[in-house]
Amino acid sequence: MDGEISSLDLPMETLKTAMLGVFESADGLRGSTVRKVVEVLSPEQTVKVLAAVAQFQLGIRRWGLKRDSQRQQS
């Protein structure tokens, strides 16, 4: 059993490193997209868009927490 676990350590570490790279790239893409959108919008539109994005993220977070809580109860 120990041999099987240790034989997975390197592939898992490689996968972890690759996934972190993907997440960093995605964050960069999101940031550059937001900057470009904000350049095109008026200040009032920018505030509305950013407020809507914040509300969306909070709603998703609330939904996730509720779902986790329901899973733990069952």
- What range does the domain containing 69 cover? 42-74
The mean pLDDT of 11-32, rounded to a whole number, is 94
pLDDT tens digits along 33-49: 999 999 999 999 999 99
One-character DSSP codes across 33-55 = HHHHHHHHS-HHHHHHHHHHHHH
Task: Count up the domains in the chain and report the number.
Answer: 2
23 has a pLDDT exceeding 90: yes
Angle at 50 between CA 33 and CA 24, to 5 degrees: 40
Question: Do 4 and 36 sit in the same domain of this protein?
Answer: yes
Question: Do 54 and 22 sit in the same domain of this protein?
Answer: no
pTM for the model: 0.61
